[in-house]
């Protein structure tokens, strides 16, 4: 049973035991209803404000109603008002956004005697958001504790919400995006200017050339698996950037790279990648597009094919670079059983332990994304890694500040600190 249903039930009981409520005196309505556009939104919210009813101390709540204004030269039937929401007595403003969470929030948070309810419960079809280019009229009705209702305070003219050019609720998000992206761009620029950038050694990436070399020595192929997601997944793209390097080294050594894919768009992109890598290595003639092919979109069908192929052809080196799910361990263990050198890279946290257990090297999360920059050694690309570190510092500071404020707030029961934590969580970080 949803909270408002519980309260409705309670309301029914209250009304049932106090029959005198019907004869109670009607409270005075609130005054001066002002309707304004909600700033910095997508044009689907309207702000209402009013002055309290003189009887506010005796009130339980204010009910808010909206109606689509009838327009046109010929006067039509009067607008049909539907309830939007309720706010507790003492409230002087409300934002109509089509999401009537206030009712339930108050049911949950306020003390029982202030419990708000609507009778009958709010029909859910009124949760629809406001529409652009439609005029609305509003009413506010004061409801006394005994259930009696004031006359309605209505807005004077139809009001149409307008859309702004920027979504204000995402201001902090855009600010953080700017800081992190700005840092990345700044460091790319600095690196371009010739400032040296130091990157720690990543064993998995150092081993790429060695692994390709070993396959060449053994006269066996290299298997490259770019995950099972499509090309719109950033991990697949990160995988393909590593494929470019693997293919170039393989072309230089004269090794065979086989790329079975589980998405056909990945196949076409991988072909472009490998072809260009062979061209760059000066071996365009050695490029064979048939080695990059589509198997199936079906996860376990793809796994079954790869297992069979690995056992039959025994590639000397296996790369798993992309987004993986349950197949990670099946592939890595099969590769291990045929004695292949295995290098994996993924940003799927759930699959990392399996790769770590069964592969020789594993690129964990951000190492995987850093691979392209690391392998290329280009200063501009390495600069992006430095910019990423700025992001990490920002996150670390936010974490520390948040944890500290929350801890101190709880220890000293400081309301201001707790409110600041709530603001950080609910407004800045959403």
Task: Give, as ranges, the residues between 171 and 200 that touch another protein (CB under 8 A).
Answer: 174, 177, 180-181, 184-185, 188
- Give yes or no for a contact between 158 and 71, defined as CB atoms under 8 angstroms apart: yes
The residues in 256-285 that bind another protein, with binding defined as CB under 8 A, are: 263-265, 267-269, 272-277
By CB under 8 A, is residue 338 in contact with another protein?
A: no
C-beta of 418: minimal distance to another protein in Å? 16
CB 246 to another protein: min, Å: 9
- Indicate the residue among 46 and 244 with the shorter CB distance to another protein: 244
Alpha-carbon distance 308 to 310, whole Å?
Answer: 6
- Give the Cα separation of 123 and 65 in Å (integer): 13
Q: Let me know: does 61 contact 88? Beta carbons within 8 Å.
A: yes
* Rounded Cα gap, residues 2 and 208, in angstroms: 57
- Binding-site string for another protein from residue 64 to residue 93, where x marks contact by CB under 8 A and - marks none: ------------------------------
Rounded to an integer, what distance in angstroms lies between the CA atom of residue 319 and that of residue 342? 6
Interface with another protein in residues 218-247 (CB under 8 A) = 230, 232, 234, 237-238, 240-245
Give least dist CB 27 to another protein, A: 28
Distances (CA, A) of 384 to 198, 223, 297, 396: 12, 29, 33, 19
Q: How far is the CB of 305 from another protein (least distance, A)?
A: 8
Say whether 259 sits in a helix, a strand or coil. strand
From the list 15, 299, 402, 406, which residue makes contact with another protein (rule: CB under 8 A)? 299
Tell me whether residue 42 or residue 58 sits nearer to another protein (CB atom): 42
- Rule CB under 8 A: which of 112-151 touch another protein? 124-125, 127-129
Q: Which is nearer to another protein, 15 or 40 (CB)?
A: 40
Q: How far is the CB of 40 from another protein (least distance, A)?
A: 9
Q: How far apart are the first and last CA of the chain?
A: 29
- Give me the least distance between CB of 335 and another protein, in Å please: 11
Q: Where are the alpha helices (DSSP H) in 281-358?
A: 299-313, 327-337, 352-358
Task: Please identify which residue in 143, 351, 405, 421 interacts with another protein, judged by CB under 8 A.
Answer: 351
Q: Supply 231's token pair.
A: 């090309």
Rule CB under 8 A: choose which of 12, 203, 395, 401 binds another protein. 395
- Please state the three-class secondary structure of 187-256 as a single string: HHHHHHCCCCCCCCCCHHHHHHHHHHHHHHHHCCCEEEECCCCCCCCHHHHHHHHHHHHHHHHHHHHCCC
The SS3 assignment for 70 reads: coil
Binds another protein (CB under 8 A): choice among 380, 406, 408, 418: 380
Choices 74-82, 139-147, 197-205, 292-300 (CB under 8 A): range interacting with another protein? 292-300
Residues 14-43, one symbol each (x = binds another protein by CB under 8 A, - = not), give ---------------------------xxx
Interface residues for another protein in 317-336 (CB under 8 A)? Answer: 325-326, 329-330, 332-334, 336
Kindly state the tokens that stand for 284. Answer: 């365009």
């Amino acid at each position: 049973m949803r909270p408002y249903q519980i309260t409705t039930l309670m309301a029914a009981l209250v009304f049932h035991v106090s029959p005198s409520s019907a004869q109670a005196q009607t409270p005075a309505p609130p005054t001066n209803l002002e309707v304004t556009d909600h700033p910095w939104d997508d044009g689907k919210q309207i702000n209402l404000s009013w002055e309290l009813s003189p009887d506010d101390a005796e009130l339980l709540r204010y009910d808010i109603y909206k109606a689509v204004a009838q327009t046109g030269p010929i006067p039509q039937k009067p607008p049909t008002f539907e309830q939007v929401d309720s706010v507790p007595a003492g409230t002087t403003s409300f934002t109509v956004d089509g999401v009537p969470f206030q009712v339930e929030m108050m049911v949950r948070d306020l003390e029982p005697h202030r419990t708000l309810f609507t009778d009958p419960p709010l029909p859910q079809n009124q949760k629809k958001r406001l529409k652009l280019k439609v005029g609305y009229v509003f009413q506010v009705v004061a409801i006394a504790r005994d259930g009696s209702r004031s006359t309605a305070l209505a807005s004077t003219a139809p009001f149409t919400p307008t859309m702004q050019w920027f979504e204000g609720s995402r201001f902090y998000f855009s600010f953080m995006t700017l800081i992190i992206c700005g840092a990345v761009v700044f460091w790319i620029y600095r690196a371009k200017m010739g400032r040296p950038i130091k990157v720690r050694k990543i064993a998995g990436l150092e081993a790429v050339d060695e692994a390709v070399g070993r396959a060449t020595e053994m006269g066996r192929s290299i298997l490259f698996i770019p995950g099972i997601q499509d090309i719109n997944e950033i991990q697949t793209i990160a995988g393909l950037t590593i494929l470019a390097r693997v293919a170039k080294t393989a072309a230089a050594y004269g090794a065979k790279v086989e790329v079975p894919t589980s998405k056909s768009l990945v196949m076409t992109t991988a072909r472009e990648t490998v072809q260009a890598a062979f061209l760059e290595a000066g071996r365009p003639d050695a490029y064979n597009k048939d080695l990059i092919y589509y198997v199936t979109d079906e996860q376990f069908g793809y796994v079954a094919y790869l297992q069979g192929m690995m056992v039959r052809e025994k590639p000397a080196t296996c790369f798993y670079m992309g987004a993986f799910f349950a197949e990670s361990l099946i592939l890595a263990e099969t590769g291990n059983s045929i004695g292949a050198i295995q290098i994996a890279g993924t940003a799927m946290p759930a699959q990392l332990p399996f790769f770590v257990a069964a592969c020789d090297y594993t690129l964990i999360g951000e190492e995987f994304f850093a691979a392209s920059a690391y392998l290329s050694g280009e200063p501009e690309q390495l600069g992006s890694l430095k910019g990423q570190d700025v992001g990490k510092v920002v996150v670390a500071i936010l974490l520390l500040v948040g944890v500290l404020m929350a801890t101190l707030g709880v220890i000293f029961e400081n309301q201001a600190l707790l409110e600041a934590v709530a603001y950080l969580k609910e407004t800045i970080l959403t």
